[in-house]
Amino acid sequence: MRMSMEQTTHFGYSTVNLEEKAGLVQSLFSDVAVSYDLMNDVMSFGVHRIWKDALINWVKPQKGQAFLDLAGGTGDIAFRISKATLGKQKDITVCDLTPAMLLEGKKRAEKTIDLGQISWVAGDAMDLPFATNSFDVVTMAFGLRNVAVQDKAIEEIYRVLRPGGRFFCLEFSKVVLPLLDKAYDAFSFRVIPLMGQMIANDRTSYQYLVESIRQFPDQETLSKMFLSQGFDRSSYQNLSGGIAAIHQGIKI
């Protein structure tokens, strides 16, 4: 599959050179790494935990499978996979662009589970440092919209999956309920950046968060992107009226 030839991309509502976005994203998440988990709870009133549990329920992790969690730096999804397999799953890899996020994940792992169960790897979703046909399941929660060329990341995920492997993407999406849509927009633009300023002393990063959600493809568009990058099947499930959605792609 070909990589987009566009020389610019969006960073929130700003336009940046394509090669700049990864550095901007890495800098942003380095700044918010320490407060990232707390802000997730505050911004979503804890609902992000329900969404992540829904993701794991769809994945149905099995012992003996090889898991890759992309953009999973602080470990939320990897820990859930381990818990779902009663802590007996030994092949879980977390890959994140930002070392500071991985460091927070390692700190959490030392307090909760055997660190030997999870591998922590710094890497770019557009150029994954893994061999072809390495994993049975790839998960990615709230990370795809931060990738400069999303098609390229999906292509790479397809490459590292084994035949029969599945990709699950949990991401903010397009609200499908009109009244909720208006309320969600008002909350997002008026409240979330203010929360970022008050709790993390970082309004800019959370303004980017809100803007990046609005720039992300809707459910149908993302589903078609999966198919265009090689996946044989693609489906999705809306969560909370479409505020978020879980997408699945299957490599046959």
pLDDT at 61: 94
Residue with the bigger pLDDT between 86 and 215: it is 215
Burial status of residue 240 (CB atoms within 10 A of its CB: 0-12, 13-18, 19 or more):
middle
Q: Which domain holds residue 116?
A: 36-250
In a domain, 11, yes or no: no
Q: pLDDT tens-digit profile of 235-250?
A: 999 999 999 999 999 9
What share of the chain in percent tops pLDDT 70? 95
**Mean pLDDT, rounded, for 200-210:** 90
pLDDT range class, residue 6, cuts 50, 70, 90: low
| Inter-residue contact 229 to 158 (CB < 8 Å) | yes
In a domain, 3, yes or no: no
| Inter-residue contact 22 to 148 (CB < 8 Å) | yes
The whole-angstrom separation of Cα 26 and Cα 123 is: 11
In a domain, 90, yes or no: yes
Q: Taking the model in full, what pTM does it have?
A: 0.90
End-to-end CA distance of the chain: 17
Q: Which two tokens stand for residue 223?
A: 């589903």
pLDDT range class, residue 116, cuts 50, 70, 90: low
Helix axes of 178-190 and 192-200: crossing angle, nearest 10 degrees: 30
Q: pLDDT tens-digit profile of 16-70?
A: 888 889 898 989 889 888 888 888 898 999 999 999 999 999 999 998 899 999 9
The whole-angstrom separation of Cα 245 and Cα 238 is: 4
Q: Which two tokens stand for residue 96?
A: 């994140």
pLDDT at 87: 67
The whole-angstrom separation of Cα 154 and Cα 169 is: 10
In a domain, 16, yes or no: no
pLDDT at 113: 58
Residue with the bigger pLDDT between 157 and 28: it is 157
Query: What is the rounded radius of gyration, in angstroms, for the C-alpha atoms of the chain?
Result: 17
Q: Which two tokens stand for residue 63?
A: 């012992």
| Inter-residue contact 144 to 169 (CB < 8 Å) | yes
In a domain, 116, yes or no: yes
pLDDT at 114: 59
pLDDT at 16: 87
The whole-angstrom separation of Cα 203 and Cα 120 is: 29
In a domain, 75, yes or no: yes
Domain count, the chain: 1
In a domain, 24, yes or no: no
Secondary structure E strands in 35-134: 67-70, 92-96, 118-122
Residue 101's domain is classified under what CATH number? Answer: 3.40.50.150
pLDDT at 201: 86
In a domain, 44, yes or no: yes
40, 61, 79, 207 from 84: Cα distances, Å: 22, 6, 9, 34
pLDDT range class, residue 156, cuts 50, 70, 90: very high
